[in-house]
Amino acid sequence: MATIKEIVYDIKNLIRGGQQSDDEMISDRQIEFQVNSLRAQFIRQDINKRRSVSDNIKQMIHCLDVHQVNGSTCGLDSKLVIMRSKEQIPNAIETSHNDLITSIGPTGILSTNFHVIPYNRAPWVGTNKYTKLMTFAFMLDNFIYVTGPDSELLEKVKLEGVFQNPREISNFTNSDGEMSYDPENHDYPLSTSMLDLIKQSMLATNMQSFVQTLTDSSNNSKSDFEPNAQK
């Protein structure tokens, strides 16, 4: 694949017929916003059709700090031992079934992931002989909650998901202090086939207003804007 910077550059080249200028009126962030929006739309369509979640679109927050809170913090029994992430996580892409948080678990590579459940099932976790030894995780108000045997010993958890804006998880780091996602150097989380769909949609619909804007292709000190037409 490619970084988001390379994708944006490619799309600008397509829009401008291979002619770009230092005085370009279309900002990189405008194009990146459109790419993120269409990516979320196409992923949502695929998941709603019961297609599997490709590894190409997933991202990992490797070390999410957690601390113990009172169960009443999330509307549960105050005696319940429960851990909550210290920070809210970025918005995951929403589907008709759930938010695309694909796994939550301990930070160890070989550790078994927690059972991820919707919040409305949280009041009944651990209430019978089949679930009392299980560790559960759920999300509420963009906080991650974990409850189960020995959950109070947790200091960090890892989380995998498909986020609306991939750039937002760059605020989180792994155990080595490196960014979970470096937009400048890491591949943008997208499959090649979906990138082709995004380009087609942007050129046909989303970017038409940009295609029709003027371009300063002279690269001099003046603003010599010209119609965006093939020469």
What pLDDT score was predicted for residue 52? Answer: 86
Instruction: Determine the length of the chain.
Output: 231
Residue 209 neighbours by CB distance under 10 Å = 9
In the prediction, which pLDDT does 229 show? Answer: 45
Instruction: Supply angle C-alpha 47, 29, 36, rounded to 5.
Output: 0
Using alpha carbons, list the distances in angstroms from residue 82 to 106, 114, 153, 161: 15, 13, 10, 22
Strand partners, 147: 136
pLDDT of residue 78: 85
pLDDT given at position 189: 96
Residue 180 C-alpha from the chain's centroid: 11
Closest Cα partner for 190 from 74, 78, 56? Answer: 56
Per-residue pLDDT tens, the chain, 231 aa: give them: 799 999 999 998 888 776 655 555 678 898 999 999 999 999 999 998 888 888 999 999 999 999 999 999 998 888 888 999 999 999 999 988 788 999 999 998 878 999 999 999 888 887 778 788 899 999 999 999 999 888 999 999 999 999 999 999 999 988 888 999 999 999 999 988 899 999 999 888 766 666 665 555 555 555 444 545 443
155 with 66: CB under 8 angstroms?
yes
What residue ranges do the domains of the chain occupy? 4-54+189-226, 59-171
- pLDDT tens for 167-205 read 999 999 888 889 999 999 999 999 888 999 999 998 887
- For residues 173, 28, 8, 222, the Cα torsion angle rounded to the nearest 10 degrees is -140
Whether the Cβ atoms of residue 64 and residue 157 lie closer than 8 Å to each other:
yes
* DSSP letters spanning 178-229: -BS--TTTSPPS--HHHHHHHHHHIIIIITHHHHTS-EE-S-SSS--EE---
pLDDT at 213: 59
Q: What is the pLDDT of residue 225?
A: 44
156-161 vs 143-147, strand pairing mode: unpaired
Q: What is the pLDDT of residue 188?
A: 96
